[in-house]
Amino acid sequence: MAPASFKAGFVQFDVRTGAVADNLAEAEARLAHLADEGAALAVLPEMWSCGFDNANLDQHARRTPEILERLSRLATRHRMVIGGSLPEREGGRIYNTLYLLDADGAVAGAYRKVHLFSVTDEHRYFSAGDRCVVCPTALGPVGLMICYDLRFPELCRTLALQGAWIVIAPAQWPDARIDVWDVLARARAMENQLYIIGANRCGMENNTRFSGHSIIVDPGGRILAHAPGGVPCTGSAVLDQGSLQRIREKVPALEERMPGVYDL
C-alpha cells in the first residue's frame, strides 16, 4: 500500500552538453543527498545525461540502457522512485523519453515527449510520442510530462483523470521565459488539484541561460519548494494524500466538469 505522505524532491544542476560522465556523477551525488534527507521520490532534469547534444543523439541513446541500470541500482539502494528524461532509440528513431524507476529498481513506466518544441528545432532531431502515461509505483500513480508539455493543459488533465495524484515534469526551460514556467506549474497543479514537481536545469548553453526555478506545488497552488535562480541544488517537500483529498472535497472541480460542453 502506498504511504499516505512522504518526502519528494528535485535535482537541479548545470547539464553539460555531451559530458555524460560528469552529468552522471552530479546526478548521483545529488540523489544521494536527497536520500539522506529521507526523500522517497526524486526528479532529474530533461535530457539530464547528455543535454541536447543533437549531433550525437544516436550515440547517447545507445548508452541509455547502461544509464538506466545505474539508476536502477540507485533506486534500489535508496528505496527511492527516480524520474528523468533520456534519449531513447527505437526503430531508427530517437525519442526524448521520461523513465520512471520504482523503489525496487524496476522501470515503472516510460513516456515519450509528445509536444516537441519547434522553436529550437526539436522536431528535426526527435520523434514525438503518441500517448499519455500514468505509472503505478510504490508511492501511488504518477503522471509524466516533459518541459514544453506544461503549456498543454489537456495533457495534465488527462493524467489527472487517469488517476495521477502527482505529476512530474523534467525540463530545460530557459531564463527568458522562466516566469511562464512558474505560472504554468502552479496552474497545472491548481486546475487538476494534484502535486506538480518540476525539475529544471540551470547554467549556460551557448547563448542561452537556464535559471532553474525547480518547483514543487501542492494541489491548491501553494509553492512548497522553489529552487534559487541559477544555482545547482536539491529541494524537497512533503506530499500528503490527505491534504489533496481535503482540497478536492472543499472545491470539487474535477467532479463538476461538463465535458459534453467543451471537450474537443
The sign one gets for the Cα dihedral 154, 155, 161, 167 is negative
Identify whether 249 is a catalytic site residue. Answer: no
One of 50, 132, 147, 156 is an active-site residue; which one?
147
Give the strand order in the sheet containing 39-43: 107-112, 93-101, 81-90, 39-43, 5-12, 233-240
Nearest residue to 44 (alpha-carbon basis) of 147, 133, 160: 147
Identify whether 202 is a catalytic site residue. Answer: no
Q: Is 14 helix (H, G, I), strand (E, B) or coil?
A: strand
The sign one gets for the Cα dihedral 136, 167, 96, 29 is negative
One of 113, 122, 132, 202 is an active-site residue; which one?
113
One of 46, 50, 88, 202 is an active-site residue; which one?
46
CA dist 214 and 211 (Å) reads: 9
Spell out a b/e string for 18-55, using b for 16 or more CB atoms within 10 Å of the CB, else e. Answer: ebbeebbebbeebbebbbeeebbbbbbbbbbbbbbbbe
Active site positions, annotated:
46, 113, 147
